[in-house]
Structure 1
């Protein structure tokens, strides 16, 4: 029987919550970049109420740790820590890039996926994936670069891309920097119709990739930019 898992994510403009209980997933989400702190806990309460259950009955949390908006990532991770400490729950961490990739390829199966988030300051957070059945193989971890400094054709070739294979893209980085990114590609990629990560997709990634659970005091944001620091809850 599947564990009961609560997933939360505020790493981008999307405030998203999903509860997996048995084979059912109950979710809430809204694009509200300036209201994450006001909306996240009410969304949690709503999905628990709809499932007629309580946080004490949840087996673990799945948390979107970024990369994305620094403020959004901080809000999601901080609230996740509070929930995990309060209910003594293990935590599984999922990247926003991974969540978009798995959601995109489930909508439109493709051989390769390039996930990219607009990181502001003329940069993108990005990661490349190869589809193997229903799962995605990853290569290097999440990275941050200026779009015109990437050579995606060279990277894909290093990872084993063949000219007869298809490529899809997800994320806001493509909306903002499509011309620059396509100029570095071996062929024009197709949109997989996924712009922002969702908590429901994070549940799928965590299950498929058997994400290792950590304790609440080990939970940290994935900023990618090294100059950004994170302060844990006082006394932790």
Structure 2
């Protein structure tokens, strides 16, 4: 039986999930610029509500961005500190993959493209393809004008706040478009799979990825 804490604060949403043995719990709320003040009290409250302490945790998962400077730095710092101090396993996941996981699980999407506004005329582009599980992915920063809709079809799911920046191109194929914040429950699902495969990292490898323009 494994207890896993997942923290995802790369966006305006403060998202925390906990796996207590085989049961999952989620807190997810949009609270811009309040992450620093709210995150640790919310984690404390979630653990207390489930009769757990930090010492009962077996692993910590973190969404490492790309995302807002404060949110990503905070999540990575907390995860790194807990992994070091408790001697527990760490799992680092791209926040783009966290978003894609949601749509694969909820809609059985075979191809998910995540677009995040990186500011200064740039996008973070993630392309995730699924068979029974994630089969291939790529993540890259591009200039907005480099985005090419001809690479994708109408069956593709487009996700993220960067979709508005390429709306004219997206309208050519009329795909499914969602402005979606990463959720810790999806991070938790990825973490479970990686933990089962032994895909863990040392805490010093928890490195944040910031938005280019910040």
Describe how 1:2-21 pairs up with structure 2 within 5 A.
Answer: 3-21=2-20
Please tell me whether residue 219 in structure 1 is matched to residue 202 in structure 2. no
The question of whether the paired residues in 2 share the 8 Å contact of 1:26 and 1:51 is answered with no
Report the CA distance between 1:202 and its aligned residue: 0.4
Shift of residue 172 of structure 1? 1.4
Q: Distance in 1 between matches of 2:74 and 2:116?
A: 18
Indicate yes or no: 2:162 matched with 1:177: no
Report the Cα distance in structure 1 between the residues aligned to 2:38 and 2:60, rounded to whole angstroms. Answer: 18
Q: State yes or no: 1:139 paired with 2:125.
A: no
Change (3 A) 1:61 1:181: farther
In structure 2, the residue matched to 1:167 is 156
Q: How does 1:44-83 map to 2 (within 5 A)?
A: 44-83=43-82
Q: Where do residues 63-212 of structure 1 align in structure 2 (5 Å cutoff)?
A: 63-133=62-132, 135-140=133-138, 142-154=139-151, 156=152, 166-174=155-163, 176-182=164-170, 187-191=173-177, 193=178, 195-209=180-194, 210=197, 212=199
1:213 and 1:37 map into 2 onto residues whose CA distance is: 26
State the Cα distance separating 1:136 from its structure 2 match.
2.4
Work out whether residues 125 and 143 of structure 1, in 8 Å CA contact, stay in contact via their aligned partners in 2.
yes
Q: How does 1:25-36 map to 2 (within 5 A)?
A: 25-36=24-35
Measured in 2, the distance between the counterparts of 1:200 and 1:194 equals 17
Q: Tell me how far apart the structure 2 counterparts of residues 118 and 102 of structure 1 sit (CA, whole Å).
A: 19
Flag structure 1 segments of 5+ consecutive residues without an equivalent: 157-162, 229-236
Q: Are the aligned partners of 1:103 and 1:194 in contact in 2 as well (CA < 8 Å)?
A: no
Matched pairs, number = 212
TM-score, normalised by the number of residues in structure 1: 0.81
Q: 1:90 to 1:111 in 2, by over 3 A?
A: closer
Structure number with higher strand proportion:
2
The 8 Å contact of residues 143 and 224 in structure 1, kept in 2 or not, is answered as no
What 5-or-longer segments of structure 2 have no aligned partner? none
TM-score scaled by length of structure 2: 0.88
How far apart are residue 148 of structure 1 and its match? 2.4
